[in-house]
């Protein structure tokens, strides 16, 4: 298969399929399960919030995200706003900021949870990429 990405040494997907340079592959040694995920800002988490962990089957992070969003919602709802316009402005601003928060931290949350479940970087390239971005927990660093 021809590699559409710039370097030709990243055939670490299933059956040797190439992965983009900003994606890392992790594998679970006991059953051989492979997960591939993006390292860096998650545009999908920014745009779609809690739908991303649903589609990935990441139930732990889904519950964390829902809990945080519920707390923020309850905090906004309990604040006495002078008008409906003030409430709408505050609501949309906070929702945008929460979307940015998920965009910046969701991929790290996803990889950290996979590491806690027994996954490890599949290749040295994935290890280096995850270590460079600070995604690896201290107990997994060499």
pLDDT band at 8 (very low <50, low <70, confident <90, very high): low
- Say what the pLDDT of residue 140 is: 79
**Stated pTM of the model:** 0.84
- Total domains in the chain come to 1
Between 140 and 4, the higher pLDDT residue: 140
* Residue 3 belongs to some domain of the structure: no
Does a structural domain hold residue 70? yes
State the residue range of the domain holding 47: 14-140
Whether 2 is covered by a domain: the verdict is no
Q: How far is CA 71 from the centre of its chain?
A: 21
Strands 34-38 and 23-28: antiparallel
**How does pLDDT run across 53-104, given as a tens digit for each residue?**
999 999 999 999 999 999 999 999 999 988 999 999 999 999 999 999 999 9
d(Cα 110, Cα 56) in Å, to the nearest integer? 9
């Amino acid at each position: 298969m021809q590699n559409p990405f710039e370097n030709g040494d990243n055939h670490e997907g299933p059956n040797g399929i190439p992965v983009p340079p900003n994606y890392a592959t992790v594998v679970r040694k006991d059953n051989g399960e492979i997960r591939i995920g993006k390292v860096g800002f998650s545009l999908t988490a920014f745009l779609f919030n809690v739908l991303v962990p649903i589609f990935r089957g990441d139930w732990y992070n889904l519950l964390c995200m829902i809990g945080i969003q519920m707390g923020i919602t309850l905090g906004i709802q309990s604040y006495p706003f002078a008008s409906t316009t003030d409430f709408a402005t505050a609501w949309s601003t906070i929702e945008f900021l929460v979307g940015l928060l998920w965009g910046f931290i969701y991929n790290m949350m996803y990889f950290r949870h996979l590491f806690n479940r027994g996954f490890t970087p599949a290749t040295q390239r994935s290890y280096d990429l995850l270590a460079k971005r600070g995604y690896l927990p201290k107990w997994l660093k060499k």
